[in-house]
Amino acid sequence: MRKTRSILFTLLLAAVTVRVLWLAIEPLVPYLVSGTAIVLVLGFVYYRITRW
């Protein structure tokens, strides 16, 4: 019984940790997507300009 309680407590703690991390990261998702798109476009332009 003690081992089961310990496993359940660990799972609960992991779920709370994941939830808190998601709440912290979720507002940044649009900025990450926009930044990735800008970097890809600039990289493509740079590649096309410097290619022989």
Q: Give the pLDDT confidence of 11-39 residue by residue, as tens digits.
A: 999 999 999 999 999 999 999 999 999 99
CA pseudo-torsion sign 47, 48, 50, 51: positive
DSSP string, 7-36: HHHHHHHHHHHHHHHHHHHGGGHHHHHHHH
How many domains are there within the chain? 1
pTM above 0.85, yes or no: no
SS3 of residue 32 by DSSP: helix
Range of the domain at 41: 2-50
- Provide the pLDDT for residue 42: 97
